[in-house]
Amino acid sequence: MKYTHEVVVISDVHLGTYGAAASELVSYLKRIKPKILVLNGDIIDIWQFSKKYFPESHLKVIREVIRLMSSGTQVHYILGNHDEALRRFTGFDVGNLTLDNKLVLDLPTGKAWIFHGDVFDYSVRQSKWIAKLGGKGYDLLILINTVINWTLLKLGKERVSISKRVKDKVKGVIAYVNNFEQNVAEIAREKGYKYVVCGHIHQPAIKVFKDSEGKEEVTYLNSGDWVENHTALEYVDGIWSIYQFNETEEIHAEAALNPINIDLSMILEEQSMQ
């Protein structure tokens, strides 16, 4: 079997919320066939889950993952804070699916330590109710943003991301992200890992951190999210890269996978009968 990627990492899809870019993710999953697919936490948003809202497009994401599993892809579901209710099933292993809190992959270029990242978030560990309240507010902001973008598209203008703009400009958020990245990288270095792969903070990144002597290196990677950034991490031929969904490119890729076949003989026959 020929795989398109050795490893693909996706996190923070938040299925069951208004912000989940499910249709875009389905389009991406349809055209890849990774040897290993890591779902690195917050895939299903159980914090916000409601029977009233889980549309067909969200179900299609689950179907695409099952399709990949059935075609040979090994799927590792790493649990995050929004899907922590599934932690009672930690260690579950059947067929091509495993559920766990962390994963270590021994890659040709070095060991990769993979986990969601919520264990480094003080608000999640100490004040869960605050984190959940923030999640509710974030989902409401995404819903408002969706309405605004629908209006902008109707007017022929580009989409905007209010929450992303706020996060990119607020100094406190920037400092939190920087501290998160540095702390995670330092712990990974102490443990002897070459790569540390996280999600949680919705900030796609690939950064190399060195020790105080500038010698030992550890590469920090974050897969971002499928709410605002629509990103994934891809590992091919020993190189990590960030994939970002582009609607135009995906349309062309899907057309290439599903070409329109035209039977010229039938057309010529119809014309001769006229």
For residue 140, pLDDT over 90 is answered with no
Strand pairing report for 93-94 and 110-115: unpaired
Cβ atoms 227, 21 nearer than 8 A:
yes
Mean pLDDT of 213-220: 84
Q: Which residues, other chains included, contact 261 with Cβ-Cβ below 8 Å and sequence gap of 6+?
A: none
* The pLDDT of residue 216: 76
Q: Are 72 and 5 in contact (CB under 8 A)?
A: no
Predicted confidence (pLDDT) at residue 155 exceeds the cutoff of 90 = no
197: nearest Cα among 110, 100, 117: 117
Structure confidence at residue 36 as a pLDDT band (50, 70, 90): very high
Domains of the chain: 5-273 (3.60.21.10)
pLDDT classification of 124: cutoffs 50, 70, 90: very low
- Residue pair 76/36 in contact (Cβ under 8 Å)? The answer is yes
- Predicted pLDDT at 142: 62
Tokens 């903070």 -> residue: 201
Kindly report which listed range (23-37, 88-102, 140-154) carries the lowest average pLDDT score.
140-154
Separation between Cα atoms, residue 117 and residue 179, nearest integer Å: 12
Q: How far is CA 231 from the centre of its chain?
A: 6
- Comparing CA positions, the residue from 6, 223, 242 lying closest to residue 115 is 223
Phi, psi of 249 (to 5 degrees): -65, -40
pTM of the full predicted structure?
Answer: 0.77
Any idea what DSSP says for residue 234?
A: E
158 Cβ contact list (under 8 Å, min separation 6): 152
